[in-house]
């Protein structure tokens, strides 16, 4: 391939991309490498948070910030924000996000928070340093890029319960690279509203094919992406670069060059057809059924635009709890395959099936009600919620009465399914016996011979 002329002189050639990633892995200890492997495959453990540990961590973070804000080269924006609104900067809800993103390493969390305000000021200006960014803060170009669907949060979590963010690099849909950066900032911060995302991190997938226009991107455009990875309060546990065209390898090369060693070690390349790539992503626990690509390789936007409609509604409801993407522990109200196959619903089916024989055997209404309430409590003990969507698509937690109705209906449905399966087995056994008798009749007896 031709040597690019817009690259820094000290950067390895694109042909050395694999060795660049391998080199990052080699810098890690055996334990660190194992942790990266587990995180990339979604089988890592979440830090056990106790009130005492949280209190100590908050105090340690405060101490580190008090030192860094005067010595860090990018501390100006943090100091401006603190002068504008001390309550915002010292909000424990905000600070816990940074601690969780660095697994409670106070020094790393403080550095991330200092850089967060610096990048936020670059992208949105000083006047928005102390406010949560909403869709109202986008200009027309930002909104046009957001609605293009070229960056989306997938509607389903991955195998480990992480939110997955997908970026498409096909045709140019942005005017300036800041359009991409502001959309990435917004969607990542939206995902970080969720406690499970704060604890488990995110998965990022970048996809490009032969429609990728290499000339639309300068190498330095990807520096802001690396900055966002280092400053936003959620950890990227794995980054998957997917392509079926060698031109897109340039993008992966640019991204890896600007990433630090830890992020490089989490970088995975996937080269092949769309079907081959989706199969590889599936092995990492990524919900490929939710990937918004048609069989012709076109970006699908319906779920994304529904999501934006939901966000508009959520952002207009001041003080109301925001549920971005249901967790694997939640039980969802709704009809159709996506609801039936949601992990939380399947878990409820399993718990109900274990109680099915007992539930069918009792006739006293009080006992049935107690069994139903036991199932509701079991979901909540596991950290789940019973969720229903309103007209705008916002997920809302339902009350105990509706949760009990959901469980009661599920008991009836599971009993009907069990009864149907029992009848099918009986019919199958009857058919086998009947066929056996026919064969026996067709065999000549000794007298006939």
**Is there a contact between 116 and 74 (Cβ–Cβ < 8 Å)?**
no
Distance CA 284, CA 268 (A): 10
Q: What share of the chain is helix, strand, coil (3-state, %, to 5)?
A: 60, 10, 30
Q: State the average pLDDT over residues 8-12.
A: 46
Residue 344: name the closest of 333, 355, 336 by CA: 333
Least confident of 11-15, 80-84, 216-220, 335-339: 11-15
Does residue 9 register a pLDDT over 60? no
Distance CA 253, CA 289 (A): 28
Distance CA 402, CA 408 (A): 10
Pairing assessment for the beta strands 395-397 and 331-332 based on DSSP bridges? unpaired
pLDDT band at 252 (very low <50, low <70, confident <90, very high): confident
Write out the two tokens for 14: 């694109």
Least confident of 18-32, 221-235, 264-278: 18-32
Distance CA 282, CA 160 (A): 12
Least confident of 261-275, 324-338, 357-371: 261-275
Predicted confidence at residue 432, as pLDDT, reads: 55
DSSP code string of 12-74:
PPGGGHHHHHHHHHHTS-HHHHHHHHHHHTT-PPPP---HHHHHHHHHHHHHHHHHHHHH-TT
**Is there a contact between 201 and 236 (Cβ–Cβ < 8 Å)?**
yes
pLDDT digits (tens, 9 = 90+) for 387-427: 999 988 899 999 999 999 999 999 999 999 988 887 777 77
Distance CA 380, CA 377 (A): 5
pLDDT digits (tens, 9 = 90+) for 377-386: 999 999 999 9
Residue with tokens 């550095």: 111
Distance CA 149, CA 300 (A): 7
Does residue 372 register a pLDDT over 80? yes
Q: Does residue 317 or residue 305 have the better pLDDT? A: 305
């Amino acid at each position: 391939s031709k040597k690019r002329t817009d690259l820094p002189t000290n950067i390895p050639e694109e042909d050395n991309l694999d060795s660049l990633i391998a080199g990052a892995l080699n810098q890690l200890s055996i334990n660190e490498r194992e942790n990266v492997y587990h995180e990339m495959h979604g089988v890592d453990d979440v830090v056990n948070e106790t009130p005492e540990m949280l209190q100590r961590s908050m105090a340690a973070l405060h101490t580190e910030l008090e030192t860094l804000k005067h010595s860090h080269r990018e501390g100006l924006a943090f100091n401006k924000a603190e002068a504008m609104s001390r309550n915002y900067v010292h909000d424990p809800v905000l600070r816990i996000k940074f601690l969780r993103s660095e697994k409670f390493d106070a020094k790393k969390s403080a550095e991330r928070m200092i850089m967060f305000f610096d990048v936020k000021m670059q992208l949105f200006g000083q006047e928005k340093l102390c406010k949560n960014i909403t869709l109202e803060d986008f200009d027309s170009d930002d909104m046009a890029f957001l609605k293009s669907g070229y960056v989306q949060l997938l509607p389903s979590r991955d195998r480990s319960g992480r939110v997955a963010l997908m970026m498409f690099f096909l045709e140019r849909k942005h005017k300036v690279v800041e359009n991409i950066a502001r959309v990435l900032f917004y969607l990542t911060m939206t995902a970080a509203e969720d406690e499970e995302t704060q604890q488990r991190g995110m998965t990022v997938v970048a996809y490009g094919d032969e429609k990728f226009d290499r000339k639309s991107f300068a190498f330095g455009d990807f520096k802001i992406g690396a900055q966002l990875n280092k400053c936003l309060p959620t950890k990227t546990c794995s980054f998957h670069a997917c392509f079926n065209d060698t031109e897109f390898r340039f993008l992966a090369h640019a991204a890896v060059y600007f990433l630090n060693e830890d992020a490089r070690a989490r970088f995975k390349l996937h080269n092949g057809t769309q079907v081959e790539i989706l199969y590889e992503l599936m092995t990492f626990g990524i919900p490929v059924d939710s990937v918004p690509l048609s069989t012709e390789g076109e970006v699908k936007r319906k779920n994304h635009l529904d999501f934006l409609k939901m966000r508009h509604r959520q952002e207009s409801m001041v003080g109301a709890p925001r549920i971005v993407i249901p967790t694997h522990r939640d039980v969802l109200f709704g009809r159709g395959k996506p609801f039936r196959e949601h992990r939380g619903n399947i878990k409820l089916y399993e718990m109900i099936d274990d109680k099915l024989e007992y539930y069918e055997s009792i006739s006293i209404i009080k006992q049935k009600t107690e069994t139903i309430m036991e199932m509701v409590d079991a979901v909540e003990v596991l950290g789940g919620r019973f969720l229903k969507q309103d007209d705008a698509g916002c997920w809302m937690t339902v009350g105990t009465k509706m949760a009990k109705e959901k469980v009661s209906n599920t008991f009836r449905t599971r009993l009907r399914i069990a009864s149907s399966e029992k009848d099918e087995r009986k019919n199958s056994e009857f058919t086998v016996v009947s066929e056996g008798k026919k064969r026996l009749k067709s065999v000549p007896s000794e007298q006939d011979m």
